[in-house]
């Protein structure tokens, strides 16, 4: 039996797996070499590498069926996330799970979604990423050292790639750079007593053409995804409207049938009472 096949699935610890992932991500070792040396399956190893690069923290396996959210509701959730992000308020993991639970309880009042669903949700949508990546990397390293639990900080926003909100950086400083190309501008409402604050006005840097094209491609991909979500939402609303129309039509038909039955029953009782046909017709008009 070869060295790479001597270990089977489950015969390595989570810490060993995280250490192997670090060798690939940080030390730039080849995945196939690390797999052969550690005995960890190559497919499992590279999946964890992709998760780490995207900021997804592995969850502990739990028994039982996996709760899921209907596709149309998941698309509605993505549309809400995109709307919040374009408004400059990207939502966090905690807010996503809370919103998902609100949606699933519309169909299944007793159902609930948690970290397992959230992890699969991130996997299903590669355009989602945790921001900032540096904070997530630090959290992952602390997790590998056993200093944290396996749940990422709930306040860390989830960004839809290609729609990152850009805001100008302006920081209040007490020291001034000697760079002659930097102009100092006083902030509005500066203290007239002399403790004025300044912001630095730096000439804008020219964006490389490759980055500009990549940004345009990202925006187009996200716009296409947004339009697809909008289309699917409209189709769902249309299907629900058609279903409601059929339900109302069926109820109207049932009511009409019940009216005919009641009228026939009343006519029979009036005939038993000895009324003439003309009198019965007049009463039942």
> Which of these three, 128, 160, 192, is where a domain ends?
160
Specify whether 50 is located in the same domain as 77: no
Count of domains observed in the chain: 2
209-251 confidence digits (pLDDT tens): 766 677 777 777 778 888 888 888 888 888 888 888 889 888 8
What CATH number should be reported for the domain holding residue 32? 1.10.10
Question: Does residue 99 lie within any of the structural domains?
Answer: yes
Question: Does residue 84 lie within any of the structural domains?
Answer: yes
Q: Could you tell me which residue, 160 or 53, shows the higher pLDDT?
A: 53
Asked if residue 165 lies in contact with residue 194, where contact means CB atoms within 8 angstroms, the answer is no
Residue from 126, 161, 138, 124 nearest 57 by CA: 138
Question: Does residue 82 lie within any of the structural domains?
Answer: yes
Specify whether 9 is located in the same domain as 48: yes
Mean local confidence (pLDDT), 265-285: 83
Residue from 57, 49, 22, 55 nearest 133 by CA: 55
Question: Does residue 92 lie within any of the structural domains?
Answer: yes
Specify whether 156 is located in the same domain as 80: yes
In this prediction, residue 21 has a pLDDT band, given cuts at 50, 70 and 90, of: very high
Specify whether 146 is located in the same domain as 76: yes
181-220 confidence digits (pLDDT tens): 334 344 444 444 544 444 444 445 555 676 667 777 777 7
Question: Other C-beta atoms within 10 Å of 5: how many?
Answer: 10
Beta strands of the chain (E only): which ranges? 128-130, 158-160, 183-186, 198-201
Question: Other C-beta atoms within 10 Å of 227: how many?
Answer: 10
* pLDDT number for residue 142: 55
163-180 confidence digits (pLDDT tens): 444 444 444 443 434 443
Question: Does residue 83 lie within any of the structural domains?
Answer: yes
> Which of these three, 102, 134, 160, is where a domain ends?
160
Question: Does residue 18 lie within any of the structural domains?
Answer: yes
Question: Does residue 87 lie within any of the structural domains?
Answer: yes
Q: Which domain holds residue 118?
A: 71-160
Q: What percent of the chain lies above the pLDDT cut of 90?
A: 3
118-150 confidence digits (pLDDT tens): 888 888 877 776 665 444 455 456 555 655 444
Question: Does residue 44 lie within any of the structural domains?
Answer: yes
Residue from 150, 43, 21, 138 nearest 93 by CA: 150
Distance of alpha carbon 39 from alpha carbon 6, whole angstroms: 6
Distance of alpha carbon 259 from alpha carbon 32, whole angstroms: 76
Specify whether 76 is located in the same domain as 48: no
Specify whether 118 is located in the same domain as 41: no
Backbone angles phi, psi at 274, to 5 degrees: 95, 15
Backbone angles phi, psi at 50, to 5 degrees: -65, -40
In this prediction, residue 157 has a pLDDT band, given cuts at 50, 70 and 90, of: low
Distances (CA, A) of 40 to 34, 35, 44, 93: 8, 5, 7, 30
């Amino acid at each position: 039996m070869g060295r790479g096949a001597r270990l089977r699935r489950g015969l390595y610890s989570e810490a060993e797996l995280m250490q192997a992932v670090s060798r690939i991500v940080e030390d730039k070792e080849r995945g196939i070499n690390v797999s052969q040396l550690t005995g960890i399956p190559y497919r499992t190893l590279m999946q964890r590498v992709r998760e780490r690069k995207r900021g997804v923290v592995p969850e502990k396996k739990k028994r039982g069926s996996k709760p899921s959210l209907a596709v149309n509701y998941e698309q509605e959730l993505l549309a809400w996330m995109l709307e919040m992000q374009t408004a400059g308020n990207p939502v966090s993991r905690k807010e996503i799970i809370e919103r998902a639970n609100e949606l699933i309880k519309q169909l299944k009042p007793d159902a609930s979604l948690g970290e397992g669903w959230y992890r699969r949700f991130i996997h299903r949508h590669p355009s989602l990423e945790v921001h900032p990546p540096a904070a997530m990397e630090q959290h992952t390293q602390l997790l590998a050292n056993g200093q944290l639990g396996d749940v990422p900080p709930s306040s860390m926003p989830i960004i839809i790639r290609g729609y990152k909100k850009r805001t100008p950086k302006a920081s209040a400083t007490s020291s001034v750079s000697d760079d002659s190309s930097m102009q100092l501008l006083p902030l509005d409402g500066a203290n007239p007593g002399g403790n004025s604050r300044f912001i630095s006005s730096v000439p804008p840097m020219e964006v490389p053409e490759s980055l500009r094209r990549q940004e345009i491609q990202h925006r187009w991909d996200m716009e296409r995804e947004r339009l697809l979500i909008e289309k699917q939402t409209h189709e769902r609303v249309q299907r629900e409207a058609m279903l409601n129309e059929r339900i109302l039509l069926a109820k109207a038909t049932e009511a009409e049938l019940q009216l005919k039955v009641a009228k026939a029953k009343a006519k029979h009782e009036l005939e038993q009472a000895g009324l003439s046909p003309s009198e019965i017709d007049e009463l039942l008009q």
